[in-house]
């Protein structure tokens, strides 16, 4: 992919021409992404950011496009030099993209060069979801996580893989779990960093706005409180995209509007990104954040990516009764940190469960070393 100079000049012009609102009337982020954060982001985007750097990184990777079910599917496909590498398909979510996974390609395809055993090598396939990034945009309805899962099974078959594993978080988890439910014989296990484990009684209490059920452990009560906060204060973007994605013309037309919409995914990630633009050292850099936003902008994906929320009919966090081996990595600043007791009930063939000391929703992007180590350990027993 090569963005034209005209596209980049237009982007820069639009950033500089942003019509700013007044400052929020509170001293925290309870009204949304704060004005100071967005102005710092816009200033850096317009004056110091260089898209060509990440464009060169992307173009150095083996990338392909194949048509599946009438839609062009773009994917990165990096084969390990190890002849015994285990094939792995990794699926991103929203507001993510293949940018999220760039840092894990090296550690997973060449673990020996990144502090791991050579025997843990993977061939890695990273597709762009339909309507996202460089994949085509569906022109008809029906592209929900189930259909995407079918497409991924076809993709891995086309690549000639007769034995592989899958990984995902966010929408990537929804797709990966649906792949497991389709039960292609080639898929031998999955790993998730955003598991669907919420028991029915917990889900019902959250839906009705009731207090947490009695008798919960500390981990369960913490997870309940995280979900309660998310449903009450952090779900606005998802509700709009699930109901009226086509109405979001503003984020298709304004780069700063798009960036703010994408930053407001979850409170912990938003706080981390605000610290990044305050100059603090975090797992992400300013360039990391803007690489992802700029990809959405240049591919005109604001609305086409949103439609996945409209298409989805699945209960996101409800257990799906996955029967094949499942590995789970829990990062503390995820939307909810799944307790082990919920996880073991949701996945009867749980082969790995670990709670990490640090990290959030964008685990592969923010904590690539820890994430890569988790993936290696998770699938070791299936090789």
Distance CA 285, CA 102 (A): 14
Mark out the alpha helices in 62-121 (DSSP H runs).
102-109
37 phi, psi to nearest 5 deg: -60, -45
Active-site residue identified among 49, 309, 347, 353: 309
CB neighbours (10 Å) of residue 164? 22
Please state, in angstroms and as integers, the Cα–Cα distance from residue 213 to each residue in 137, 184, 229, 230, 316, following that order: 43, 38, 16, 18, 21
Check if 309 is active-site.
yes
Cβ atoms of residues 299 and 134 within 8 Å: yes
Coil, strand or helix: which one is 16? helix
Check if 77 is active-site.
no
Token readout for 106 is 């090296």
Check if 50 is active-site.
no
Active-site residue identified among 170, 228, 266, 333: 170
CB neighbours (10 Å) of residue 346? 23
Number of alpha carbons in the 13 Å side-chain half-sphere of residue 67: 3
| Catalytic (active-site) positions | 170, 309, 361
């Amino acid at each position: 992919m090569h963005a034209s100079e005209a596209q980049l000049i237009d982007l820069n012009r639009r950033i500089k021409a942003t019509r700013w609102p007044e400052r929020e009337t509170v001293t925290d982020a309870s009204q949304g992404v704060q004005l100071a954060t967005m102005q710092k982001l816009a200033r850096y985007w317009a004056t110091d950011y260089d898209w060509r750097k990440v464009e060169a990184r992307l173009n150095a990777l083996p990338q392909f496009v194949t048509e599946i079910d009438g839609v062009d599917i773009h994917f990165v496909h990096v084969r390990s030099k190890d002849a015994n590498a285990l094939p792995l398909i990794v699926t991103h979510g929203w507001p993510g993209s293949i940018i999220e996974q760039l840092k894990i390609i090296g550690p997973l395809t060449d673990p020996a060069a990144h502090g791991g055993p050579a025997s843990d090598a993977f061939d890695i396939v990273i597709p762009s979801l339909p309507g996202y990034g460089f994949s085509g945009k569906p022109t008809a309805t029906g592209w929900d996580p189930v259909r995407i899962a079918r497409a991924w099974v076809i993709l891995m078959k086309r690549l000639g893989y007769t034995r592989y594993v899958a990984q995902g978080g966010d929408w990537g988890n929804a797709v990966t779990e649906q792949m497991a439910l389709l039960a292609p014989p080639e898929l031998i296990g999955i790993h998730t960093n955003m598991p669907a484990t919420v028991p029915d009684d917990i889900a019902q209490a959250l839906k009705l706005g009731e207090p947490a059920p009695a008798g919960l452990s500390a981990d369960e009560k913490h997870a309940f409180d995280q979900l309660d906060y998310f449903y009450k204060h952090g779900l606005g973007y998802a509700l709009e995209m699930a109901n009226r994605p086509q109405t979001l013309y503003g984020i298709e037309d304004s780069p700063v509007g798009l960036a703010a919409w994408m930053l407001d995914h979850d409170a912990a990630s938003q706080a981390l990104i605000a610290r990044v633009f305050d100059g603090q050292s975090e797992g992400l850099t300013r360039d990391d954040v803007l690489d992802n936003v700029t990809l959405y902008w240049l591919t005109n994906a604001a609305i086409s990516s949103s439609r996945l929320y409209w298409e989805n009919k699945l209960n996101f966090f409800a257990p799906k009764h996955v029967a094949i081996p499942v590995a789970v990595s829990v990062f503390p600043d995820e939307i909810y940190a799944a307790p082990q007791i919920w996880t073991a009930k949701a996945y009867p063939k749980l082969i790995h469960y670990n709670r990490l000391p640090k990290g959030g929703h964008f685990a592969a992007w923010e904590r690539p070393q820890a994430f890569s180590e988790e993936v290696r350990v998770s699938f070791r027993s299936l090789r």
